[in-house]
Amino acid sequence: MEITQIVGFALVAAVLVIILRQYKPEIALLVSIAAGVALFLVVLGKIGAVIEILQDLSRRANVNMVYLGAVLKIVGIAYIADFGAQVCRDAGEGALAAKIELAAKILILVLAIPIVMAVLEILMKILD
Amino acid sequence: MSTLDTLQNLVRELVILIILAVTLELLLPHGDMRRYVRMVLGLLIIVAVLQAGMSFWHRELAADLSWLSLGPPDQAATAEILREGERLWQAGQSRAQAEYEQGLARQIRGLAGLNPDVAVTAVRVRTTAGTPDGQPGRLEEVILVLEGEPLVGEDRPVWAAPAERSDPEAVERLRRIVADFYSLSPAQVTVEYQE
């Protein structure tokens, strides 16, 4: 089972990081980042099926694909920013983590503009 | 599509929308980012619900427009619409062709009336149908019906003198005039005598 492999890999990486942190903290941080990226890449391929289902549901619900694409991008931005911020916090760089989160929030708001405009347009149509 | 079908479509769309929203909710990350993504997701749901509601509302206002539908038209409905359009186009085309032929016949009869040597009693024309890409029909044949042989039976009184055929030269002249006027070959203008 894949989950067993993933959990095993994470446990091995965690033990390795704990041991390395005592002797070489900088290497321990790199190992932690590499393990996180590897786990992220392993599950990245699986998310394609979920996105296909979401697209199918959107088609059935007559939701514009542009809006769904924007939402998926926003979810992706949130995950990547969260991942980056956690890595920065693990490295003791809380300020940098906050900057990553700020950048992600701005990007999310920028991507949300078309959806906000769509809501406004529909409300204007209703009120006309 | 009846109002009940429309409502059924609306409810179906809303149910699918709820499933979509719940599925997207599962994808949201934890932490501070979650609030922002949820806000955008909520806006998306609002857009979708309002769109579905707006479609339904406009449909109620324009209930007589039966070709409107909430969802994307399926293949069967599209084929039916296309068939109906083709049928309407053909009906309009036939009517236009008939009116065109009648108008031409009147014109030719008026033209022939200028020649006192030939008594034209009727004119029949034959045209080709127009094409769907907008090409109009063309004049194919003109049949001039002349007074000539005496009528028999109840159409003609027995005491009436038999009508004589028109002068062949005058008839030929008229044929050429009509052919030249409509850019036809003389063979396309034929003469028939009323029996």
- Asked if the C-beta of A113 comes within 8 angstroms of chain B's C-beta atoms, the answer is no
Give pTM, 2 decimals.
0.50
Residues of chain B with pLDDT under 50: 61-75, 150-154, 156, 160-161
Chains A, B: CB contacts within 8 A come to 101
On whether any CB of chain B is under 8 Å from the CB of A98, the answer is no
Q: For residue range A6-32, list pLDDT tens digits in order.
A: 999 999 999 999 999 888 888 988 898
Residue of B nearest to A47 (CA): B27
CATH architecture of B98-193: 2-Layer Sandwich (3.30)
Please provide the distance, in angstroms rounded to a whole number, between the alpha carbons at the two ends of chain B. 57
pLDDT tens digits for A39-72?
888 887 788 888 888 888 888 777 777 778 888 8
**Secondary structure, 3-state, chain B:** CCHHHHHHHHHHHHHHHHHHHHHHHHHCCCCCHHHHHHHHHHHHHHHHHHHHHHHHHHHHHCCCCCCCCCCCCCHHHHHHHHHHHHHHHHHHHHHHHHHHHHHHHHHHHHHHHCCCCCCEEEEEEEECCCCCCCCCCCEEEEEEEECCCCCCHHHCCCCCCCCCCCCHHHHHHHHHHHHHHCCCCHHHEEEEECC
- Which DSSP category does A45 fall into? T
Query: Which residue, chain included where needed, has tokens 């001039």?
Result: B144
By C-alpha distance, which of B78, B77, B57 is closest to B6?
B57
Break chain A into its structural domains and give their ranges: 1-44, 47-128
Residues A118, B47: C-beta atoms closer than 8 Å: yes
ipTM above threshold 0.90: no
Mutate to test the interface with B, among A51, A64, A66, A79 (most CBs of B within 10 A): A79
Q: Which residue of B has its CA nearest to A110?
A: B40
- Which residue type does B50 have? L
Residues of chain A positioned with their CB less than 8 A from the CB of B43: 112, 115-116, 119
